Amino acid sequence: MTSVAWSGPKLRVAVLGATGSVGQRFVSLLADHPWFEIGALCASERSAGHPYADAVRWMQTTALPPEIGSLEIRPTESASANDCVVAFSALDATIATPVEQEFARAGHVVVSNAGAYRMHPRVPLVVPEVNADHLELLAGQEFGDGAIVTNPNCSTIGLVLPLKPLVDRFGLLRVHVVTLQALSGAGIEGIPSMQMVDNIVPFISGEEEKIESETRKILGRVTGGEVTEHEVMIGAQCNRVPVLDGHTACVSVELGDRPPREDLLDAWAEFVPDTAALALPSAPKRVIHVLEGDDVPQPRLHRDTDGGMAALVGRVRPCPLLSWKFVTLSHNTLRGAAGGALLLGELAVARGVVPGWSAGGKTAP
């Protein structure tokens, strides 16, 4: 299963919110991407006009490539990205709504990691391996010549990936989930260190609601240009813990059937997403890794599995209340943010959402 070789020029993309925690991940991943290249780095007015290297507080463990560091940051408006067809958005919730719409109306395909349009009825909320078919909602979008597609919240992505094979095979009635979420999800300046030494915080603003609503949309069915949400009942509790990257979740599920443990493991082991045939460059080799051992997955040891794009599952055991309980882990700024959005951008290209481009390269003059 290999992808069609890309030929000709790369597709130029803009990164919105390029200096933040997720923006930096976009920049890292795009530095060496087979299909895309950075055409514009947009950030706040304070940063605009300065070289990226000067404006960013670079927190990645790989050095910032000098040719990217020297790019001048542009203002966050579509005019900054005239030569880019696609815009990856890592914008703050506070400004994403007008800005993303402005980019779309100017003709850009916006692939957004922000929450602004996730629950909009005409905007696809997509995890490529789970609900690529939701892209058909785009037909009904009315944001001018462009389009907006959205990547779910980081903790939702980490949850729906292991749920998908269970939904398909057994049906899913109820989910109880408690998360232990990493610091990077709150942005570089998000959580003061005095709060994260000898401490955890049992609260993340808006997170529980996002998990509960987004999961139902993602697992829902699109018919006639509308999403019918999945009826699963979800109860979420979210905590912040002193981990740099990698959201852990303790999950209990009530399935339609009461399958034996072996069947669950098979469901995960045999899961092949519809998008596998597309061989998208950012897709993990295996979507779900079930780990053996009592005390795994652990964020520091396993978050980088398959380039940080896989979901890890462990500790599968009976739940006295629902059917089964397990622990899942995923990398929140790779799989759950920049990497997931990039994969979604690749899917959009492969599915013909980006005018003039396909999985083989440029198609139109």
Q: Which residues are catalytic?
A: 154, 247
Q: How far is the CB of 74 from a copy of itself (least distance, A)?
A: 24
Q: Considering beta carbons, is residue 153 or 248 the nearer one to a copy of itself?
A: 248
Token representation of residue 361: 């390269």
Q: Considering beta carbons, is residue 129 or 245 the nearer one to a copy of itself?
A: 245
| Cα separation, 109 vs 191, whole angstroms | 32
**Sheet containing 247-255: order of strands:** 233-240, 172-181, 247-255, 324-330, 311-318, 288-290
Which of the residues 327 through 356 are near a copy of itself (CB under 8 A)? Answer: 327
Please report whether residue 159 would count as binding a copy of itself according to CB under 8 A: no
Q: Considering beta carbons, is residue 79 or 197 the nearer one to a copy of itself?
A: 197
User: Strands 311-318, 324-330: parallel, antiparallel or unpaired by DSSP?
Assistant: antiparallel
Instruction: Please give the radius of gyration of the chain, using alpha carbons only, rounded to the nearest integer.
Output: 20
Please report whether residue 322 would count as binding a copy of itself according to CB under 8 A: yes
Choose which of 194, 223, 262, 364 interacts with a copy of itself (CB under 8 A): 194
Q: Considering beta carbons, is residue 83 or 189 the nearer one to a copy of itself?
A: 189
Tell me which residue of 264, 251, 311, 94 sits closest to 169, measured CA to CA: 264
Q: How far is the CB of 326 from a copy of itself (least distance, A)?
A: 9
Choose which of 178, 265, 279, 316 interacts with a copy of itself (CB under 8 A): 178
Per-residue binding string, a copy of itself, 210-249, x by CB under 8 A, is --x--------------------xxx-x-x-xxxx---x-
Choose which of 1, 5, 63, 364 interacts with a copy of itself (CB under 8 A): 63
Cis omega before residue 281 (within 30°)?
A: no
Cis omega before residue 121 (within 30°)?
A: no
Please report whether residue 189 would count as binding a copy of itself according to CB under 8 A: yes
CA 286: distance to chain centroid? 16
Q: Considering beta carbons, is residue 145 or 231 the nearer one to a copy of itself?
A: 231
Question: Under a CB-based contact definition with an 8 Å cutoff, are residues 135 and 225 in contact?
Answer: no
Neighbours of 205 (CB within 10 A): 9
Spell out the residues 6+ positions from residue 163 whose beta carbon is closer than 8 angstroms to its own: 172, 175, 215, 219, 253
Choose which of 201, 222, 265, 279 interacts with a copy of itself (CB under 8 A): 201
| Cα separation, 149 vs 117, whole angstroms | 8
| Cα separation, 273 vs 311, whole angstroms | 13
Q: How far is the CB of 318 from a copy of itself (least distance, A)?
A: 9
Please report whether residue 203 would count as binding a copy of itself according to CB under 8 A: yes
Please report whether residue 115 would count as binding a copy of itself according to CB under 8 A: no
Site residues, a copy of itself (CB under 8 A): 21, 58-63, 174, 176, 178, 180, 183-184, 188-203, 205, 212, 233-235, 237, 239, 241-244, 248, 250, 252, 294-301, 304-305, 314-315, 319-322, 325, 327
